[in-house]
Amino acid sequence: MGFKAKARKHKADSGESEKTRKKSASKQGEIPCGVKSCDGFADKSLGGRSLSIDNAIDVWGSSGYTERKGRVRVCKSCYRKWKKENKSEDTY
Ligand SMILES: [Zn+2]
């Protein structure tokens, strides 16, 4: 009846907010990515890697990263970006 249809409409509204919540439910890490323009996490459990300073400079420039004990911790996607720019190892 009319009253029931109203209740259903209310449910649909809350379903929409659930969708937006799902988007932000990504894994949280503890070690921030060393790339300044990136807000990812460099935790090993999340696929993070550590690069040497020289490697980081090649891709992000001398001021585009944050150093940690002589290494640059990067998240998974930044590591992939670095790998892409350093393809020479994979060729041949
Ligand atoms: Zn990153």
Domain spans in the chain, listed from the N-terminal domain onward: 44-87
Q: Report how far ligand 1's centroid is from the alpha carbon of 35 (Å).
A: 5
Angle between helices 53-60 and 76-85 (to 10 degrees): 80
CB atoms within 10 A of CB 11: 8
* One-letter amino acid for residue 5 of the chain: A
Report the C-alpha gap between 10 and 3 in whole angstroms: 11
Q: Which of 11, 74, 7 is nearest to 37 (CA)?
A: 74
Over the stretch 12-51, which tens digit does the pLDDT of each residue have?
555 555 554 444 556 789 999 999 999 999 999 999 999 9
Whole-model pTM: value is 0.66
Q: Which of 82, 7, 9 is nearest to 40 (CA)?
A: 82
Least confident of 2-6, 37-41, 74-78: 2-6
Q: Report how far ligand 1's centroid is from the alpha carbon of 81 (Å).
A: 9
